[in-house]
Amino acid sequence: MAYEEREVRAMSFIFYVLTALTVAGALAAVLLKNTVHCALALSVAFTGMALLFLNLDAQFAGFAQFMVYVGAVAILVVFAILLTKGSETPTGGVFSRTWLMGLVIAAGVFAVLGWAVMGSMKALPQLTAVPQVTVLQIGNALVGRYVLPLEIVAVLLTAAMIGAVIVALHERSEVAKEGQK
């Protein structure tokens, strides 16, 4: 069909590069033996994702992703690794003994998702114009239409913070006890 031919065009080169980067980062994150290396690869993956967002003209989301994930989550992961002595090389093996089963299941999930996508390509919406999104618009939406989720997320974040504090407190008392011994 001419219509489809017109629509089907090769993805841009930058897309492939970014995809490769992200996927490589993700693979490294799950495959590497050293946990810290995994965390760093994770950061790469996050970066790749942010760039993909930018490629998709979701600038705000992209930068938010970058700031939050790379700037906070990845660091957090590194902190956790360091705190739990994850940098040491484990002797019992990093993968579970039944890793193949897990792999198969993950492959199965991918297969299903891929099949769903390929099978519904005709139903997927076609090209649209590039949306012009301003931060003002996002801000308006947040406090306008989506104010409820916003508040709920705020509560959620508060709870998370309190939980983290409690955990830290517990940690302190534990440390105190061990200090006495």
Partner 1 sequence: MTPLACYLLVAALMFSIGLAGALTRRNAILVLIGIELMLNAANLNLIAFWRYGPHPEKLTGMIFAIFSIAVAAAEAAVGLGVVSEMHRHAHTTDIYAMDRMKGREVDARNYFIHSAGCGLSHHGDSVADSHCANSCIWRGCALEARQAQSLCDAGDWFDEFCTLTFANCICARSGGMDAWAGGARDS
Partner 2 sequence: MHGQAVRETVNFTWIQVGAAHVDLGWVLDPLSSVMLVMVSFVGLLIFIYSTGYMKDDENYTRFFCFLSLFAGAMLGVVISNSILLLFMCWELVGLTSYLLIGFWYQKPSAAAAAKKAFLTTRVGDVFFLLGMVWLFSQTGTLLFYNSGAGSMEAGALTGLLAQPAAWGLTAAGAIGLLIFAGAAGKSGQFPLHVWLPDAMEGPTPVSALIHAATMVAAGVYLIARVYPLMAAGMPSGGTTVALTVVTWVGAFTAVFAALIAVAQNDIKRILAYSTVSQLGYMMAGLGMGGVAVGMFHLITHAFFKALLFLGAGSVIHGCHGEQDIRKMGGLKSDMVVTFITYSIGMLALCGFPLAFSGFWSKDGILEAAQHWSVAKAPFYMLVFGALLTAFYMTRQVAYVFFGVWRGGKPAHESPKSMTAPLAILAFFAMALGLIGTPAWPWFHAFLDGRVASFNLMSFTESGLPGLMFSSTVVVLCGLWLSWKIYGDRSPRPTEPDALEKASPMVWGWLRDRLYVDELYGATVIAFYSWWARVADWLDRRVWGGAVAGVAESFALWARLNRFLDTNVVDGGFDTGCSGLSGSGGLLARVQTGRVQTYLRILALGVVALVMILIWSSRP
Angle between helix 13-31 and 35-55 (nearest 10)? 160
* Closest separation in Å from C-beta 110 to partner 2: 10
Contact assessment for residue 120 and residue 113, using Cβ atoms and an 8 Å cutoff: no
- Name the token pair of 48: 């790749």
Of the candidate residues 90, 102, 144, 163, the single one contacting partner 2 (CB under 8 A):
102
Q: Considering only residues 4-33, where is the footprint of partner 2 by CB under 8 A?
A: none
Question: Which of 47, 53, 100, 39 minimizes the C-alpha distance to 70?
Answer: 47
* CA–CA gap between residue 2 and residue 55 (Å, rounded): 27
Query: Which residue shows structure tokens 């618009």?
Result: 137
From partner 1, partner 2, none, interface partner of 119 (C-beta below 5 to 8 A by class): partner 2
Of the candidate residues 16, 76, 84, 108, the single one contacting partner 2 (CB under 8 A):
108
Which span sits near partner 2 by CB under 8 A: 77-85, 111-119, 125-133, 136-144?
111-119
Q: Which residues bind partner 2 (CB under 8 A)?
A: 96, 101-102, 105-106, 108-109, 112-113, 115-116, 119
